[in-house]
Amino acid sequence: MTRTGLDKRWIERMKSLPESGMGYQKVKVLLKDGTVIDGTVHNAEILETNTVFNISNEDIADISLG
């Protein structure tokens, strides 16, 4: 499992999207290299994935509800 703190840009994006449940959003994360990762964003701030990836905010191209 990997946890990544999102920067202000992504936090604002997540705040604008509806929650999947109380305090979390199920998401698909598109990385700049084209990889798509399923994950969960907690409290619009922490991205958690079940797979082990070394992800930085600079690697993220887009986050959408999934």
pLDDT of residue 7: 97
CA distance 50 to 17: 22
Given this model, what pLDDT does residue 10 score?
97
DSSP element (H, E) containing 9? helix 8-15
pLDDT tens across 16-57, in order?
A: 999 999 999 999 999 999 999 999 999 999 999 988 778 899
Tell me if 41 sits within 8 A of 14, measured CB to CB: yes
> Could you tell me the residue range of the domain that residue 31 belongs to?
2-65
Say whether pLDDT at 1 is over 90: no
What was the pLDDT predicted at 54?
A: 82
Is residue 28 helix, strand or coil?
A: strand
Which pTM was predicted? 0.92
In the chain, how many domains are there? 1
